[in-house]
Amino acid sequence: MTSDRVPVGINFRRVLETISAQIYDTPMAFLRENVRNAVDALRMYHAEIPHHADAVSVSIEITYSTVRITDSGVGMSRDELQGLFWTIGASGKNTPFARQAGCVGHFGVGGFANFGVCRTLTVTAKRLGHDGWKSKVSIDEIPAPGVPEVVYSRSEAAAPHGTVVEAELTSAPQLDELRTYLASFVRFVPEPIRFNGQLISQTPLAKEDGIAYGVPEEFDVKGTKFEGALGYDREKTPVIKLTSGDHAGGVGGVLRFASGMLEVFKRGFKLCSTTAFSTLGIQGRLESDALQPTAGRDSLSAPSQQFVADLVQTLELAVARAIVKDSDLISANPRIVSFAVANLGIESVGPMQLKLADGTDTSLQGIRDEVTEKSTQVYFGRAGDRDVLQILQASGNLIVPLSGDAHWPVRAAVVPLKTVWREVIRRPDPNQGTLYRFVDFRTGVSCRGRIRG
């Protein structure tokens, strides 16, 4: 019995449309990813040939629908052009050497993904010690049922070393929009990058902010070690400055514990803007070699998202430990109370200062001592309910009026005490004054009272 071997058929143009639509679906994505490759090429060049002192740079030139990206990086030989750039799934940067060099990307998407936004792609490259080569593919020449061919010819246009990527886009981009978008990704890249002659990189990632930071504390998140120094801004919002210290890993940036967006970077190149869960909120800039983007997208890989979440949680715990030692900081950051109670224990928020209904200053620990030693009943309610709170106080109870911002965090703090904490809830009753409900958190039992207007 004989059997036939038949090669698998492929509609390359259809596959290409699918791949490119998921990766480089806009001129912005095309430019971002190719400039990232250019920056990686500069770093590979310095890592491979450290004794060469010649300057390296990236330039982007756009005229109507033609985009030209030139770098003076490591370049490619003809074999590398074919085996790395024009081969789907291949990558020369997913190696320990490339990671040590500071390469941002590591995926092997390949040059064909660029055809999501361009019709013709020409890549000219030259590596030191090799001949220069020009390669070109046009989407109009790609056969539907077959595999495309890359046209090669000798060229020294990228001499003495480097790569030139030239694309004819399907439509002319908006230059100002494209410049602004790209600058947001490369403004902290240490290498010079120019957009139509304008420098858009080399801004320091961390600048002087006038905050007095404390002694750095060492942290370890999933094996990535770094140091963080804590300080506070004028509103007493915690701010932490991150550095690598004596450790590898490239951790850096400044994080402010308030609601906002978190920008994440790798060696100065922005990967994306994201959010991370935090009780206090988190915003600012975070840089780490542990971060990886998704293929062709301005988003983080799943492991990187988890790393960011673990890092924020670790830092927030350190911030909570510092804040609960200072009553002024607790008052300025009331949302930390519930987090501290859940993670550090009820005793951690003892220093929190409160003002009783009669104007007396006390602390959560002082109230707890009062309850323990004298079995005093304690009520707390919103500061606007002073009429009923004063009546309750006149009956010998301990009364704690709270502002709206502090109400729920303090409630979370006092519930675990298992004492006679009661919440006063106002209910309007036009005919018979004001009706109140008092909830005993220990038993869940509520009772009612009335004050006639």
Same-domain status, 411 and 316 = no
Would you state the pLDDT for residue 252?
A: 93
* Minimum mean pLDDT range among 83-97, 376-390, 422-436: 422-436
Q: Are 195 and 221 part of one and the same domain?
A: no
Q: Which of 199, 227, 242 is the last residue of a domain?
A: 199
Residue 362's alpha-carbon distances to 366, 368, 402, 420, in angstroms, are 6, 10, 13, 18
Q: Is the pLDDT of residue 405 over 60?
A: no
Residue 58 lies in a domain: yes
Q: Which of the two residues, 44 and 435, has the higher pLDDT score?
A: 44
* Domain annotation covers residue 333: no
What value does the mean pLDDT take over residues 28-57? 87
Instruction: Give the domain CATH number at 128.
Output: 3.30.565.10
Domain stops at, among 164, 199, 234: 199
Residue 141, in any domain of the structure: yes
My answer on whether 221 and 193 are in the same domain is no
Does residue 24 surpass a pLDDT of 60? yes
> Which amino acid appears at position 74 of this protein?
V
Domain that holds residue 370: 345-451
Q: How confident is the model at residue 176 (pLDDT cuts 50, 70, 90)?
A: very high
Q: Is 1 part of any domain?
A: no
Residue 263 pLDDT > 90, yes or no?
Answer: yes
pLDDT at 443 over 60: no
Say if residues 396 and 417 touch (Cβ distance below 8 Å).
no
Q: Are 25 and 118 in contact (CB under 8 A)?
A: no
Residue 183 tokens, joined:
């600058």
Has residue 6 been placed in a domain? no
How does residue 423 score in pLDDT terms, banded at 50, 70 and 90?
very low
Task: Check whether residue 112 and residue 228 sit in a common domain.
Answer: no
Average pLDDT, the chain: 81
Radius of gyration of the chain (CA): 31
Q: Do 93 and 187 sit in the same domain of this protein? A: yes
Choose from 61-65, 334-338, 381-385, 448-452 the range with maximum mean pLDDT.
61-65
Say whether pLDDT at 199 is over 70.
yes
Same domain as 182, residue 43: yes
Are 314 and 360 members of one domain? no
Residue 60 has pLDDT above 90, yes or no: yes
How confident is residue 41, by pLDDT bands cut at 50, 70 and 90?
A: very high
Is residue 242 included in any domain, yes or no?
yes
Asked if 392 contacts 424 with a C-beta cutoff of 8 angstroms, the reply is yes
The answer to whether 253 touches 286, Cβ cutoff 8 Å, is: yes
Centroid of chain to Cα 50: 32
The predicted pLDDT at position 183 comes to 97
Least Cα distance to 230 among 311, 290, 320 occurs for 320
Of 69-73, 263-267, 275-279, 437-441, the range with the lowest mean pLDDT is 437-441
pLDDT for 113 beyond 80: no
Q: Give the residue with greater pLDDT, 386 vs 246.
A: 246
The top-scoring range by mean pLDDT among 75-79, 109-113, 329-333 is 75-79
Q: Domain containing 439 — which CATH number?
A: 3.40.50
pLDDT of residue 436: 46
Domain count, the chain: 3
The reply to whether 106 falls in a domain is yes
Task: Tell me, yes or no, whether 109 and 234 share the same domain.
Answer: no
Residue 7 lies in a domain: no
| CA dist., res. 60 & res. 67, Å (int) | 7
Q: Are residues 148 and 107 part of one domain?
A: yes
The verdict on 126 and 177 lying in the same domain is yes
Q: Do 190 and 221 belong to one domain? A: no
138, 171, 199 — which closes off a domain?
199
* Closest by CA position to 80, among listed 43, 41, 46: 41
* Residue 125 banded pLDDT, cuts 50, 70, 90: very high
Q: Given pLDDT bands bounded at 50, 70 and 90, which one contains residue 21?
A: low
Q: For the whole model, what pTM was predicted?
A: 0.78
Residues 180 and 228 grouped into a single domain: no
